[in-house]
């Protein structure tokens, strides 16, 4: 489980990769959250938009989901990861309406609660999704990418 997660905009993979050691900081528009697995969150969101449902799919289905987020920088043993969100997810998040974001947040919360119980993040997950959706819309407008940095 990552302690700190930052979803952020960057002009390209190279710029995103440069955040590896220090994080995106204030140089990039971002949304921050804590105590979750960003790659499984990204896959959960992508699955929701590809196959909309309020029901939480079985974990086996989530783990088999493709495309799984791709690393921008290969992980080392320091725990830092930088992922690029799949382009179809960026488009889906950019075009999502409030009802879709609320349903996805409820489903995501249910999965995290089932997986993590009392150790679940105390972040406002609907607010995180709304923020990431705004970043996605900006990525579409600017032609940049949407990334996740975590430690």
Q: Over 90: is that where the pLDDT of 100 sits?
A: yes
Is the pLDDT confidence value at 150 over 90? yes
The predicted pLDDT at position 115 comes to 76
So what's the pLDDT on residue 118?
Answer: 65
Which phi and psi (to 5°) does residue 32 adopt?
-110, 145
Of the CA atoms within 13 Å of residue 30, those in its CB half-sphere come to 20
pLDDT in tens, 3-55: 899 999 999 999 999 999 999 999 999 999 998 889 999 999 999 999 888 88
pLDDT band at 122 (very low <50, low <70, confident <90, very high): confident
> Which of 34-38, 53-57, 107-111, 117-121 is predicted least confidently?
117-121
118: Cβ contacts below 8 Å, ≥ 6 apart: none
Q: pTM here?
A: 0.92
Run of H or E residues at 93:
helix 87-95
């Amino acid at each position: 489980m990552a302690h700190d997660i930052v979803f952020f905009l960057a002009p390209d993979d190279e710029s995103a990769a440069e955040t590896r050691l220090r994080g995106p900081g204030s140089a990039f528009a971002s949304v921050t959250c804590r105590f979750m697995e960003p790659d499984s969150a990204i896959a959960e969101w992508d699955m929701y938009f590809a196959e909309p449902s309020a029901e939480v799919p079985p974990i086996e289905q989530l783990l088999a989901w493709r495309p799984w987020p791709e690393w921008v920088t290969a992980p080392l043993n320091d725990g830092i990861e930088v992922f690029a969100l799949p382009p179809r997810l960026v488009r889906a998040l950019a075009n999502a309406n409030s009802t879709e974001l609320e349903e996805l947040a409820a489903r995501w919360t249910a999965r995290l609660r089932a997986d993590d119980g009392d150790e679940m993040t105390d972040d406002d997950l609907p607010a995180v999704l709304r923020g990431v959706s705004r970043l996605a819309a900006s990525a579409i407008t600017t032609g940049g990418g949407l990334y996740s940095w975590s430690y």
